[in-house]
Each structure stands twice: as structure tokens, then as C-alpha cells.
Amino acid sequence: MQTILNISEAAAIALHSADYMAGRGRLCSAHEMAGALKVSYNHLSKVLQALTRAGLVSPVRGPKGGFELSPSGRKASLKDIMTAIDGPVRPQACLMGHKICRHRDCVFGRFLAETNRRFDKVLAGKISDLSKRA
């Protein structure tokens, strides 16, 4: 059976690290982020590598180095971040995993459609807007 939202731990770490970097507006070390986010340094490092390969994060080497959102990362949507980690985001239309629901009056039909619309709206939000929220 399918779940309504399927966000991997890596994608959650990516979203939180992007939020962290957006809020700081400066270089952030992976150790600093791992401690602040209370996540594994090794897992965070792999996520940051994937975000770097996607062009969303810029690494700076050296003793005073770290990571920051790239120009395209600052313009990126939450969906862009998730896609860089997990591939395309696919909303679930049926909890049974069918492409087209076989039951006309499915109890979850309208609920899933509304949930998918709301989730798409959240995913369309920009990373830069995260740092501006109260």
C-alpha cells in the first residue's frame, strides 16, 4: 500500500540544510550544520555532495570553507531540492498504487486530490522565502 507523502530522510536533510544556509547567508561548515540540525555528519555530507552536483550548493574548500546556496540554489523551489535528492516528485492518486482508481466513490479520492494540490503549493515555495518566515 502507498503512503500519501513519501519524503526520504536524505530529502528532509536537504530541505533543512537549504533552509539553514538560506537563513545564515554565509558559508556554513558541514559540522556546524550537522550539529545544528542534529543529523549524521556523514549523511549530511552525502546530501551536500548531491546538492553540489545539482548546482544548488556551492562548496568552498579550505580551513575557512564550507557550503552556501549557489545563485540557482537561492532561486530554487523546495521541489528542486527534493528532485535533486530523490528524483521527480510523484503525487499519489491512489493509496492502492493504481494509476487510475478503480473505485468510483473512493473514500480517499477527494482527500488525496486536495492533499496533492496543497503539497504542490508548498513545493512551489522558494528556498529564499524560508529564511524570511517568522
Using CA atoms, how far residue 50 sits from 53, 130, 134, in Å, is: 5, 21, 29
Contacts of 90 (CB under 8 A, 6+ apart): none
134 pLDDT exceeds 60? no
Kindly report, residue by residue over 76-107, the tens digit of the pLDDT: 999 999 999 999 887 776 777 666 666 667 77
pLDDT at 104: 65
Give the architecture (CATH level 2) of 9-130.
Answer: Orthogonal Bundle (1.10)
pTM: 0.84
9-21 pLDDT, tens digit each: 999 999 999 999 9
CA distances for 29 relative to 61, 64, 69, 86, 106, angstroms: 10, 8, 12, 23, 49
- State in Å, rounded, how far the first CA of the chain is from the last one: 37
Local structure of residue 5 (DSSP, 8 states): -
> Which one-letter amino acid corresponds to residue 119?
F
pLDDT in tens, 38-70: 999 999 999 999 999 999 999 999 888 899 999
